[in-house]
Structure 1
Amino acid sequence: MEDVRQIRTISRCVAAYCKYPRISVRELHKRCSHYQQRRSTTKLLKDAIEESVLIGPRIWCNSGIDVEIHRGLEDPFEFLEENRKRSEITYIAALIGDLSAFCLKKGASVLQYAETVLPSYPAQKTLDQITLEEKGDLPSDQYPHGWDQLDWDVYEVMRNPLTSYAKAGSQLDVSWHTVKDRFEKIAKDCKTWILFLPKGYDNYQQTYLMFKTEYEANLREELQKLDRTSIIYKFNDTILLHLFLDEALLKLHHYYRLFFELKKEGIIHDLHVSTPIEWYTRHW
């Protein structure tokens, strides 16, 4: 997908999904599309999903998530294959580099924050141009107190918010009106998990950077100026940053140098760099 107008339309659609993940194609066409015909917008969205320019949307809340970090594994691939079968695992990535594996699982509320950061298109900055100047922590994602069992059931079957209320109601043996009411209630406690990758998922070099910093909120603001999604996790007052980098070797050199310079300046600490080689998620 190389047409700039098409990519700008997809970018606007992603922003609209972030505001309301059940927005209809009809509304996306009216608010976001450069096309006159709705079927053209529908095809564009279909193509964007097939080319992994757009991944999502899903809804996400901090439902009590534990984090595992593993180092020095002899075979990260084997570790992933063995551990993906654990019922509590929701996400696992095999890595090479300073870390060997990263896991999210149901359990103690160790994960403090998570977000697919909504980017800007066209970019306001490239990654090597970001600056961290203002201290400030990310807010903690709160556990959704006040949900009953049906709320949790609706959350599970409506993780894909584009699922029809009627289909979800059939699965839960309740009316579609009940699903609608419960979804609108729980959506207020959820984030939209969605990725916008203008070149397509497979055309980026991915990296995980784990570090501590006092500039967490400023980092998020700077990532919003890039032209592709970045993913931030925070646990034990540590940031794990999942970046999608341009593949050119020279650019990779500049990107990595930035973070080592930030470390040298004392802006980030305890930097660990890893590359994901395989991953598994239970909810995509």
Structure 2
Amino acid sequence: MPIDDKTRKQINLALCTALQENPRVTVKELFRIIASLRNWKKLHGSAQQILDKPFEDRILVGPYLYCNSDMKVTLHEEKDVEKVNSMGFAISLVGNYSYLQVSRHGKGNLSYAELIKPSFPEKVTLEGGITDDERAWFDQWFATPKRLNPDIKPEWDDAEWELYGLMRNPRQNFFEVGKELRIPWEMVRERFQRIVKDCKVFVGFFPLGYSQYDHLLVTMRTEYEIGIREFLKGLDRSSWLFKVDDLLVLYLFHTHINLTCLKFGEMNCMGIIEDVRVGIPLDVDKERFLIV
């Protein structure tokens, strides 16, 4: 008998939380989390099957490590393909922008990045106008302007930066990474335990499955940066939140573009956000975008 939808979402979100808190959490501990939430009176399959399924269906994506490493993000309005392809990683867009480009050339301007962990049950919706129930949420988080605190670049040596590059997937085998670096696995573990303290852990939660959502890039200027973050936390799925110079960049996963734009249109009319622009991604390298 399959797990009911509510229990499945509770288990998957609990697994997401555990991986964010400790990206190398043991399988035994993940089994314990599953056991605490499943209904033992019903046959739901083994704990291993329950653990594997959200990753197979891409309901859970990650974990990935991230730290501020002086990346530069540029939003191009012109269609200069050669210029964009000359450096870094780019996503083609249709709308107010032609490309989003990420590179390490020049001075970094990406001061904040986060893959937002959502809520269950959801507190706000992405698709549709602002409801009466949501207005209390908006009144709470958009009462006072608050800015995001920038991500601090770690002060690592060359060996630690090299390890970070190899351990973006933090569940990799220390022994295999040690062979590549030609150092003992114990040294890999020691260095990893040091650098992970300076990193964010990104785990995406997409209850319908990652491939079932359409993508939308939205940029805006606002004094309510913390409010925008709380709004994204109230959704039922993960979203990307970036700050590039003085611009907030949201990378959203939606099921209806017109209703999603309606939400931000109403937020614009309320004076919460301004200078709102959108771009529809065309040729997203989805896995790579998750770990830039």
TM-score in same-fold range (> 0.5): yes
1:101 aligns with 2:103: no
Q: CA deviation at 1:98?
A: 0.7
Question: Pairwise mapping of residues 107-126 of structure 1 onto structure 2 (< 5 A)?
Answer: 107=105, 108-126=107-125
Alpha-carbon RMSD across the aligned residues, in angstroms, is: 2.4
Amino acid of the structure 1 residue aligned with 2:104? K
> What residue in structure 2 maps to residue 16 of structure 1?
18
In structure 2, C-alpha distance between the alignment counterparts of 1:263 and 1:201, rounded to whole Å: 28
> What residue in structure 2 maps to residue 235 of structure 1?
244
> What residue in structure 2 maps to residue 5 of structure 1?
7
Deviations 1:246-280 (A, max 9, x none): 24xxxx43321221222223221111011111123
Question: Pairwise mapping of residues 85-164 of structure 1 onto structure 2 (< 5 A)?
Answer: 89=88, 91-107=89-105, 108-127=107-126, 128=130, 129=134, 131=138, 132-145=142-155, 147-164=156-173
Question: Pairwise mapping of residues 191-270 of structure 1 onto structure 2 (< 5 A)?
Answer: 191-247=200-256, 252-270=257-275
SS in 1 for 2:282: strand
Q: CA deviation at 1:2?
A: 7.0
SS in 1 for 2:283: strand
In structure 1, C-alpha distance between the alignment counterparts of 2:258 and 2:75, rounded to whole Å: 26
Q: Which of 277, 280, 283 is equivalent to 2:282?
A: 277
In structure 2, C-alpha distance between the alignment counterparts of 1:79 and 1:133, rounded to whole Å: 45
In structure 2, C-alpha distance between the alignment counterparts of 1:4 and 1:200, rounded to whole Å: 15
> What residue in structure 1 maps to residue 31 of structure 2?
29
The number of equivalent residue pairs is: 271
1:181 aligns with 2:190: yes
In structure 1, C-alpha distance between the alignment counterparts of 2:29 and 2:197, rounded to whole Å: 20
Which blocks of at least 5 consecutive residues in structure 1 are unaligned? none
**Further displaced range: 4-13 or 161-170:** 4-13
Aligned residues of 2:31 and 2:51 also touching (Cα < 8 A): no
SS in 1 for 2:284: strand
**Further displaced range: 24-33 or 178-187:** 24-33
Q: CA deviation at 1:106?
A: 1.5
Aligned residues of 2:34 and 2:47 also touching (Cα < 8 A): no
In structure 1, C-alpha distance between the alignment counterparts of 2:197 and 2:185, rounded to whole Å: 19
> What residue in structure 2 maps to residue 168 of structure 1?
177
Aligned residues of 2:216 and 2:254 also touching (Cα < 8 A): yes
Question: Pairwise mapping of residues 42-81 of structure 1 onto structure 2 (< 5 A)?
Answer: 42-73=48-79
Structure 1 length normalisation: TM-score?
0.87
In structure 2, C-alpha distance between the alignment counterparts of 1:26 and 1:79, rounded to whole Å: 50
Aligned residues of 2:92 and 2:283 also touching (Cα < 8 A): yes
Amino acid of the structure 2 residue aligned with 1:118? K
Q: Give the structure with the larger strand fraction.
A: 1
Q: CA deviation at 1:165?
A: 0.9
SS in 1 for 2:191: helix
Percent identity at matched positions? 30
**Further displaced range: 151-160 or 100-109:** 100-109
Aligned residues of 2:11 and 2:33 also touching (Cα < 8 A): no
Amino acid of the structure 2 residue aligned with 1:68? T
Alpha-carbon spacing, 1:116–1:239, altered in 2? closer, same or farther (3 Å): same
Q: CA deviation at 1:79?
A: 6.4
Structure 2 length normalisation: TM-score?
0.85
> What residue in structure 2 maps to residue 40 of structure 1?
46
